[in-house]
Copies of this chain bind each other. A is one copy, B any other.
Amino acid sequence: MQNTLKNIFPNFSNELLSTIEENGSAQDFKAGTILMRTGQYIKNTVLITKGKIKIYREGEDGGEFLMYYLQPGQACAISMICTAKSEKSQIMAKVVEDVSVMMIPLQMMDKWMMEHRSWYEFVIETYRSRFEEVLEVVDNIAFRSMDERLEFYLKRHSDACGCSEVKLSHQEIATELNTSREVISRLLKKMEQRGLVKLNRNQIELLIKN
């Protein structure tokens, strides 16, 4: 077990890993579980060891605007940030593929920051990369039109899973980009005509490299 954790978080020092074992509690959640809601208080930092969690903003109409995904070896930046004052969450976190996580009580956060260099670096790097990711999201919605955003979205997905097939329905994509299914269907059709993708039921194959 120590070993697996070591593999997933290769940069953590051995002492840190033991401390995590001691103080964290390993938990599993099924796909569909909502781990965090807007307005809810945050009591734990979450380290993902297996599966996938979607971090999104919820619109009044129930839109699920995608911010980013959390995958093994990553942690929820928001839950780290809200540490000190156990602030309210500003986002929603939903399990999209069954996950295993380590729940770390918030008090540990501050403590480890001082005691474990590798924890400190991990936290800072988590902040940095997420901030950057969100900035990129802003860029996309501020400066790009839907067809470009869709292309970007598909690439992001295929990068994340490492394969060129994106297994999502048009409806799911539409929800995450906060538009309607028809729009996505139409744009995908155009992309197919341009030879960028191949469309199948519940699956889109990217024909572009990179």
Contact = CB atoms under 8 A, between A and B. Distances in A.
A131 interface: yes
- Chain A interface mostly helix, strand, loop or mixed? helix
A83 B135 contact: no
Nearest to A114: B114
A131 B128 contact: no
Given A81-B128, A84-B125, A137-B138, 15 more contacts: A61-B143, A63-B142, A65-B138, A65-B143, A67-B138, A81-B131, A82-B128, A84-B121, A90-B136, A114-B114, A127-B131, A130-B131, A131-B134, A141-B142, A143-B178
Interface of A: 57, 59-61, 63, 65, 67, 77-78, 81-84, 87, 90-91, 113-114, 120-121, 124-125, 127-128, 130-132, 134-139, 141-143, 178
A71 B82 CA distance: 22
A143 B143 CA distance: 15
B141 A141 contact: yes
Copies in the complex: 2
Contacts of A141: 138, 141-142
B57 A135 contact: yes
14 contacts: A57-B143, A59-B142, A59-B143, A63-B142, A65-B143, A67-B138, A81-B131, A82-B128, A84-B124, A127-B127, A131-B134, A134-B134, A134-B135, A141-B141
A138 B82 contact: no
Interface centre among A134, A143, A178 (most CB of B within 10 A): A143
A90 B135 contact: yes
